[in-house]
Amino acid sequence: MAFLVIDIGNTRLKWGLYERGQPDAPLLAHGAVPLEDIDHLWETDWSRLPQRPVAMLGCVVAGEAIKRRVEEQLLQGWGLRPHWMSATAFGGGVINGYEHPQRLGADRWAAIIGARQHALRVSPENPPPVLAVMVGTAVTVDSVDASGRFLGGLILPGFGLMYRALESGTAGLKVPTGEVRDFPTNTSDALMSGGTDAIAGAIERTMRRLRVACGRDPLLIMSGGAVSRLSHVEELPALVVENLIFEGLLTLAGNASKNEA
């Protein structure tokens, strides 16, 4: 009863094969490919999987053309009918407080649900508020209160977008990758430290707001392909979760199975 989850982001497709469609299921295999390589996904990855998935659930932000190219491989390879989730007013134990719930990105919604599940594991009877941070092409910083209500969140450029904006908008900033320093003394370190402090500062400010709003310390959870660039920041005592979006997708899949039963 293997279950496939797919996260099609802005630059990469990430996938995971789990023993079943439940949040506590063992991971059997996983991988990631750049979007420009997805036409070969069946040949390079999926045709070699140890088990054939019987169902799947995914989220997409990359657009319809990319989604169709993935669907073709699912259907031709396994005859697997694709299911793609979108944000709803309620799901996975979270109330969606977005002004227009359906306009919330599917990947953000899945990550928020995954983060809420971690808060429930910390204390099922009295879960803490949680801040879900995804660090990728863009960075999202989303707040969930102790009752499971999504309060809202931030979207800001990721490290790569910041660097490219500076390179294109200024002269002489095409330099090697630097290090994070308290007081940078070269341009490479200044760029790396500036990007890190900008993102870390947004997270710290939101942590303070959430603490005031809820009257208690929130649980900070971070995930995403570039999370390693933030996980060392001492001011951000975070739980780093490798596959937060997958956990949200598995939660939704598990809830759907219970409702069908």
| Contact yes or no for 108/85 (Cβ under 8 A) | no
Catalytic status, residue 107: yes
Show the CA angle centred on residue 215, arms to residues 210 and 219, nearest 5°. Answer: 50
Length of the chain counted residue by residue: 261
Which two three-digit tokens encode residue 104? Answer: 């919330």
Evaluate whether 220 touches 207 at the Cβ level (below 8 Å).
yes
One-letter amino acid of 206: T
Backbone angles phi, psi at 63, to 5 degrees: 115, 165
Find out whether 111 and 252 touch, Cβ atoms under 8 Å: no
Q: How far apart are CA 44 and CA 29, in angstroms?
A: 13
Cα angle 125, 22, 147 (rounded to 5 degrees) comes to: 30
Catalytic residue, chosen from 107, 142, 145, 189, is 107
Q: Which residues are catalytic?
A: 107
